[in-house]
Amino acid sequence: MSTYLDHAATTPMRAAALEAVCEQMHLVGNPSSLHGAGRRARRVVEESREQVAEALGARPSEVIFTSGGTESDNIAVLGSYEARRAADPSRTRIVVSGVEHHAVLDPAMHLAQTQGAPISFVEPGECGTVRPQDVAAVIEEDPDSVALVAVMWANNEVGTIQDVPAIAQVCAEHGIPLHTDAVQACGHLPVDFAASGAETLALSGHKLGGPVGVGAMLARRDAVLAPTSHGGGQERSIRSGTLNAPGIAGLAAALTESVADRDAEARRVAALRDRLLAGTQELGLGVRISGCWEPGDVTTRLPGNAHITIPGCEGDSLLYLLDAAGIECSTGSACQAGVPQPSHVVLAMGRTEEEARGSLRLSLGWTSTEADVDAALAALPDAIDRARRASGAA
């Protein structure tokens, strides 16, 4: 039986979410229809909207349902940029952190390629932390040119948690909207949208025990966003399309349950993470922990994130060797056009390309156990030895 240690990619559905989805899948009704079945589906959507808002410190009117984190990020970046530029043509620059997910980076690059939008990067420190003063410095190079700033709440690769309220304050001083990708944070960290100061926020159902294919974007009531899809005018006319009532119900159920036991679960999972990271150091194989780590810390690093780099190894080789040994995890690299590339996140933190290529992400979640940690630590030595021999580093 395999040991699943890739919860940052997707985590098993919670029973409450599965039940909510199945219940709605047995029913018929378009939430935009005016007859009884449509009104019943609409009630499910609106009750779910209230649940999501309550869990994340938002107003129901600020919850816009989407197909997932990628669409939410795209709407926030593209929609905010278009609206800001329409109101003030001099607002063309985009400021993003150097550790953003491609769901934020790629729409920014699209705007650069198609509309000539200048992109300014805020590079992190060696822990992956984006400092508010560094964001301020980049903005102040030409504050009147900035259309939006994007800094993620928690990093999907190395688990670093950013000080979003402090960064939002910097943006507010210049009248610039902040978007934050909170896909890895929601359900795992305290997320209060109202208190954060962000203008938009992205979340995804399948990262917290909900179904794949559903997510949400939180957008303040006064946020101005150009629509990226056109049609029936659903979701404040920002995201048209028939609403996925079963998926939305599952998202709300999973988020509600994950928030209810969040603090206790964070401590439990962090204890597993700490034992896993400490165990890699005790192997005596030169394994290096990525980012900053303090045992018990759940405020600067995601509770379930264990990211390591292993000298003399290719991450892809390690991945396949561990998979053959029954350990399912991921590398720190992004595969583009079929060619493995070193992680831009690890490179931005000051690691070399060789170190970045030897990255491995072991991520724990709500179903993880002590046995999972034991299995990973037992499998690593042989996998590392074989990977080094394959690369000629042994």
Report the catalytic residues: 335
- Provide the residue type at 186 as one letter: C
Give 347's contacts (C-beta < 8 A, 6+ positions apart).
353, 356
| Strand, coil or helix: 215 | strand
C-alpha pair distances (Å), 26 with each of 29, 45, 244? 10, 16, 13
Q: Where are the alpha helices (DSSP H) in 140-192?
A: 164-173
Residue 305 corresponds to which tokens in the numbers above?
């994130």
Alpha-carbon distance of 319 to 316, in angstroms, equals: 5
Closest Cα partner for 373 from 275, 284, 297, 288?
275
Q: Are 155 and 99 in contact (CB under 8 A)?
A: yes
C-alpha pair distances (Å), 10 with each of 23, 195, 337, 363, 386? 22, 28, 22, 10, 28
Burial of 218 (0-12, 13-18, 19+ CB in 10 A): buried
Alpha-carbon distance of 380 to 56, in angstroms, equals: 38
Give ∠ CA 147-148-150 in degrees, rounded to 5: 155
- Provide the residue type at 216 as one letter: A
Alpha-carbon distance of 228 to 71, in angstroms, equals: 10
Residue 123 phi, psi dihedral angles, 5° rounding: -85, 145
Q: Are 168 and 178 in contact (CB under 8 A)?
A: yes
| Strand, coil or helix: 100 | coil
Residue 42 corresponds to which tokens in the numbers above?
């609409």
Q: Are 10 and 206 in contact (CB under 8 A)?
A: yes
Count other Cβ atoms within 10 Å, centred on residue 355. Answer: 20
No. of helices (H) and no. of strands (E), the chain: 14, 15
| Strand, coil or helix: 90 | coil
Residue 371 corresponds to which tokens in the numbers above?
């046995």
